[in-house]
C-alpha cells in the first residue's frame, strides 16, 4: 500500500515547479546573466551551436505572471498525467514536448528571419495537453471524468488565448502540443502492446 501511495505522489511535477521557481528567483537577483546563457534564439542555437538552450529555455520565465500561470498548469495538469504514466515516463514526455516545441519555435523564427529570444515552459505544458488527449482517446476508462471534448476545448481555448495575445511564442505552443500528442500516442501503443503480450503469455 505504501509503495502504491508513493507512486501516486506527483513528485516529478512538484520537483519541476520547485526548480523553475528557484531559477526564477536566481534570475531576479542576477539580472540578465541566466537569460543571456539560456534564452532561445536562432543566432545562439544555430550559429553559436549552443543546443543546450533548447532545454535551458524551458526553465526561464519573463515575469511573475508568466511563471505563476505556467507553474499552476504544470502542477495540476502534471499531477493528473504523472499518476497514470508513472514518474520516469512523465519526465521523458515533458522534456520531449518542451524540446519539440522549442525546435518548432526555432524553425518558424528562422523562416520569418525573427532574431528575438523566447523563454518559458509553455511548450512542454502544451505537450502535456497533447499527452492527455492521446491518453483519453486510448484509455478513456482510466479517467471517466475527463472526456476528449473537454480536453479539446481546453486546448482550443489555450491556443486562442495565445494567438490573441502579444509577445507569445505560439510556434512553441503548437510544436509542444503536437510533439506531446504523438509521443503520448506512442507511449499508449507501447503500453497496450506490453499488456497484450503479458496476456498471451499467461494464457500460453
Whether 58 and 122 have beta carbons less than 8 Å apart is answered as no
Question: Which residues are the active-site residues?
Answer: 122, 173
Please name the residue that has the C-alpha cell 541566466: 34
Q: How far apart are CA 40 and CA 55, in angstroms?
A: 9
Crossing angle of helices 11-30 and 64-85, in 10° steps, is 160
**12-to-21, 76, 88, 92, 193 alpha-carbon distances in Å:** 14, 12, 8, 11, 26
Contacting residues for 78 by C-beta, under 8 A, at least 6 apart: 10, 12, 13, 16, 90, 94, 128
Question: What backbone torsions phi and psi does residue 34 show, to the nearest 5 degrees?
Answer: -70, -35
Whether 99 and 131 have beta carbons less than 8 Å apart is answered as no
Amino acid at each position: 500500500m505504501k509503495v502504491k501511495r508513493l507512486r501516486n505522489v506527483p513528485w516529478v511535477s512538484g520537483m519541476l515547479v520547485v526548480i523553475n521557481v528557484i531559477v526564477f528567483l536566481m534570475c531576479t537577483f542576477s539580472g540578465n546573466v541566466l537569460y543571456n546563457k539560456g534564452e532561445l534564439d536562432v543566432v545562439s542555437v544555430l550559429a553559436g551551436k549552443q543546443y543546450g538552450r533548447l532545454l535551458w529555455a524551458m526553465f526561464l520565465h519573463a515575469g511573475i505572471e508568466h511563471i505563476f500561470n505556467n507553474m499552476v498548469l504544470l502542477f495540476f495538469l502534471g499531477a493528473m498525467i504523472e499518476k497514470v504514466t508513472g514518474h520516469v515516463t512523465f519526465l521523458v514526455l515533458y522534456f520531449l514536448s518542451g524540446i519539440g516545441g522549442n525546435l518548432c519555435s526555432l524553425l518558424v523564427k528562422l523562416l520569418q528571419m525573427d532574431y528575438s529570444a523566447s523563454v518559458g515552459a509553455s511548450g512542454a505544458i502544451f505537450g502535456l495537453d497533447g499527452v492527455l488527449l492521446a491518453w483519453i482517446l486510448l484509455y478513456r476508462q482510466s479517467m471517466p471524468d475527463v472526456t476528449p471534448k473537454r480536453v479539446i476545448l481546453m486546448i482550443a481555448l489555450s491556443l486562442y488565448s495565445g494567438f490573441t495575445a502579444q509577445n507569445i511564442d505560439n510556434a512553441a505552443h503548437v510544436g509542444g502540443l503536437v510533439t506531446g500528442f504523438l509521443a503520448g500516442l506512442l507511449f499508449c501503443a507501447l503500453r497496450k502492446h506490453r499488456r497484450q503480450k503479458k496476456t498471451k503469455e499467461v494464457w500460453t
